[in-house]
Structure 1
Amino acid sequence: MITNSVTKQIIAMGGGGFSMEPENPLLDRYILGLCKKKRPKICFIPTASGDSDKYIVKFYSAFVQVLCQPSHLSLFNPFTSDFRSFVLEQDIIYVGGGNTKNLIALWKEWGLDHVLREAWESGVILSGLSAGSICWFEEGLTDSIPGNMTVLQCLGFLKGSNCPHYDGEPRRKPAYHQLLSEGLISSGYAVDDGVALHFVGEQLEKVVSSRPQPKAYCLERVDKTVKETILEPIYLGNN
């Protein structure tokens, strides 16, 4: 039973973590630190990568070195038909990058979207980078279709749109601005690599970063123009 004491949390990274910054664990440690247990259960969901074996190995290589209980959930080689029980036993869900369009389609086909919403509403921490960031919003700017930057309808746990890799991929910023100015995507957040948005409930609580320079941005459409506001992160290296 869900009570009023449950804290719903989502950490949406523009890029970073063990797969992009293997020598810089600050964002991953931040996510683990949100769970007050000594050995939190953290489950990696690599759907967007097609359950890449290399990606899964990278996850275990990174997280076996810290005090936690790592596992992963595969939709291509599932070990159980009872996803719900497995997911609800976790403390943290960590969603990897890749093709967001495939991720959304497969999650809906398997009913994992409903399971993850239930987990979030039960206090399981949801996190991820790139596709694993976009997926939680109503819409996302994705390169899932080769050669194009397109708008993708996502899960809608969080309001608005999301654009990861804002500084890391040159096409992202102009595409996001153009789509927003034309009213083809809703207002939302752009996030540089190495930066994470920390939502509590549906509200942005904090912005953190693994490096001093990267930023996050709030983008709004105002009279057919785009207003971009910098959201200065808290650099985790100072903690």
Structure 2
Amino acid sequence: MEKNIFIIGGGEIAKGETQEIDESIMKSAIKGSSFVFFGTAAGDAEGYGEIINKIFGDYFNVTVATEAKGQEFSENAIKNASVIYLGGGTTKFLIDHFEKWNLVPLLREAIERGVIVAGMSAGAQALVEWYIHEEDELYEIRKGWNLTAGSVGVLVHATEESFNRAKNLFSDSKYTNSKLYGIAEGAALVFGGNSSSFSKIGAGKIWT
């Protein structure tokens, strides 16, 4: 299978900080096909959807799936998507909502069909097996959905300093047979759904 899971470390999409990544997503799917955006992690903020439509709307048929539109709308959007983009915000909001509506199995099926699935920051954390949650310089390992092949953990918005702190937590955890990646803003790792191999895109740095 082609590499079709984009794990994006962060960056201001409206300011062009993820332009190389955005262009790679566009090249990965057919022009005019369905692009579904979930701004769940940001509380379905209208402005976020507008930015996504501005960036991707000339290339894709963009649909914004929100809680207000209902569960069936989200289910059908995932089933018919060529690209699914999980935006940034609060990871717990995204994980809780998708699990409440039982959307994770549909997301897994989409990946197996070869649908492009991109996660920005919170979205990236949800897609991998585990992630480092950082708050006020306190670090905690939390579980994601494990939709990439192999055991993968991430630290998003990473810097060299924050990654070194995260490594110390990682080395004392049950995930030592896993792989931790620090992904800076403006960088992404691209995985396949059934292969642990990956490629790196974007101007930002990756630490391993």
Give the TM interval when normalised to the shorter protein.
0.7 to 0.9
Unaligned segments of structure 1, at least 5 residues: 1-5, 219-239
CA distance in 2, matches of 1:12, 1:190: 11
CA distance in 1, matches of 2:72, 2:18: 36
Give the CA deviation at 1:99.
0.8
Q: How many residues are matched?
A: 203
CA distance in 1, matches of 2:22, 2:41: 19
**SS of residue matched to 2:10:** coil
Structure holding more helix per residue:
2
Aligned pairs for 1:56-75 within 5 A:
56-64=49-57, 66-75=58-67
Match of 1:149 among 120, 123, 139: 139
Letter aligned with residue 16 of structure 2: P
CA distance in 1, matches of 2:18, 2:77: 29
TM-score normalised per structure 2 = 0.87
Identity of paired residues, percent?
25
Unaligned segments of structure 2, at least 5 residues: none
CA spacing shift, 1:117–1:206, aligned 2, 3 Å: same
CA distance in 1, matches of 2:2, 2:26: 15
Aligned pairs for 1:1-239 within 5 A:
7=2, 9-16=4-11, 18-19=13-14, 21-22=15-16, 25-35=19-29, 37-64=30-57, 66-75=58-67, 77-79=68-70, 81-143=72-134, 148-158=138-148, 159-167=151-159, 172-183=162-173, 185=175, 186-201=178-193, 202-209=195-202, 211=203, 214-218=204-208
The Cα offsets for residues 153-212 of structure 1, whole Å up to 9 and x where unpaired, read as: 1101122211111129x6x32431221122255432111111110112332331111x3x
TM-align CA RMSD: 2.3
Give the CA deviation at 1:106.
1.3
The structure showing larger relative contact order (alpha-carbon pairs under 8 Å, at least 6 residues apart) is 2
CA distance in 1, matches of 2:3, 2:21: 19
CA distance in 1, matches of 2:97, 2:70: 16
Letter aligned with residue 69 of structure 1: N
CA distance in 2, matches of 1:215, 1:134: 17
Structure having the higher Rg: 1
TM-score normalised per structure 1 = 0.76
The Cα offsets for residues 4-55 of structure 1, whole Å up to 9 and x where unpaired, read as: xx64620111113624x336622111111011x2323211111111111221
